[in-house]
Amino acid sequence: MIFRLKTVLMAAALAVVFAGAALVAGATDAAEVYGSAARSLPIYNVERTDNKISISFDCAWGVDYTDSLLQTLEKYNVRATFFAVQFWVEKYPGYVKKISAAGHEVGTHSATHPYMSRLSETEIKAEMTSSVAAIEKLTGKKVELFRPPYGDYDNLLIDTVNAMGIYPIQWDVDSLDWKDLSASDILARVTERVKSGSIILCHNNGLHTAEALPLVIEALTARGFTFVPIGELIYRENYRIDAAGKQISNAT
């Protein structure tokens, strides 16, 4: 009888423990969901109805295909945004000047291309300040945009960059050119995903990017899209960013 009573009491105690654990787990899940919704986000794309889009190129390794990219952009009268790492800027200052002189926008892609979510606020500011200064010295133009290396960020990074008066920019259309996809595969990926307000991610030294670029421009222009630099795509004030990273004007 005593043994049975002990068994019943133990089972009841275990039930309470498991119920408590379930409640804690449920609370954790809810916190994660709400934390995600409240997370500080970069701009992935912009809510627009005018079919304006942006194409961007990250510059960190080499310049093998950059002249070809610039020639194509000039041919089609397209202005783009280039995000440059400081060590690339210092290695290829002539290209930074050439890109800027052609009417393209130059933003920072950090100083040393680190995973910036692992940095302190002081380290983030150092990366930003140093890389911005290097670009502005060559172009004579204010740097207003930043793309995190590897697309890696956290609240501290986004909040710090915003506080410095610089817009953190991500993308919603990844060409995957860094995987050395063929020109036709890059074309298919981009054209299948683009919508009004999209930001397209490419790399200046992608193996087939220069080959794909005229195909992409022609296909999207034929569909009624207009290319503008990211600085002209985004809203500068009176906006919000939803949980998916879409920048939305509060005026609409």
pTM here is 0.85
pLDDT of residue 46: 98
Residue 20: pLDDT band by 50, 70, 90 thresholds?
A: very low
Tokens coding 146: 């930043």
Quote the percentage of the chain above a pLDDT of 90.
Answer: 84
In this prediction, residue 38 has a pLDDT band, given cuts at 50, 70 and 90, of confident
Based on the residue annotation, tell me whether 109 is a catalytic residue of this protein: no
Q: pLDDT band at residue 30, thresholds of 50, 70 and 90?
A: very low
pLDDT digit string, tens, across residues 137-177: 999 999 999 999 999 999 999 999 999 999 999 999 999 99
Q: What is the mean pLDDT of residues 30-37?
A: 36
pLDDT tens per residue, range 212-245 = 999 999 999 999 999 999 999 999 999 999 999 9
Which residues make Cβ contacts (< 8 Å) with residue 54, sequence separation at least 6? 80, 81, 198, 199, 200, 227, 228, 229, 230, 232, 233
pLDDT of 14 > 50? The answer is: no
58 is an active site residue: yes
pLDDT attached to residue 35:
41
Give 83-122 pLDDT, tens digit per residue.
Answer: 999 999 999 999 999 999 999 999 999 999 999 999 999 9
Whether pLDDT at 12 is above 50:
no
Residue pLDDT, tens place only, 64-94: 999 999 999 999 999 999 999 999 999 999 9
What residues does each domain of the chain span? 1-38, 45-249
Q: Is 32 left (phi over 0), alpha (psi -120 to 50) or beta?
A: alpha
Q: Which of 104, 113, 203, 208 is catalytic?
A: 203
**Exposed/middle/buried for 84, CB within 10 Å: 0-12, 13-18, 19+?**
buried
Annotated catalytic residue within 29, 58, 64, 67:
58
Q: Which residue has the higher pLDDT, 5 or 55?
A: 55
pLDDT digits (tens, 9 = 90+) for 171-221: 999 999 999 999 999 999 999 999 999 999 999 999 999 999 999 999 999
What superfamily would CATH give domain 45-249?
Glycoside hydrolase/deacetylase (3.20.20.370)
Q: Is the pLDDT of residue 37 over 80?
A: no
Estimate to the nearest angstrom the gap between the alpha carbon of 133 and the chain centroid: 21
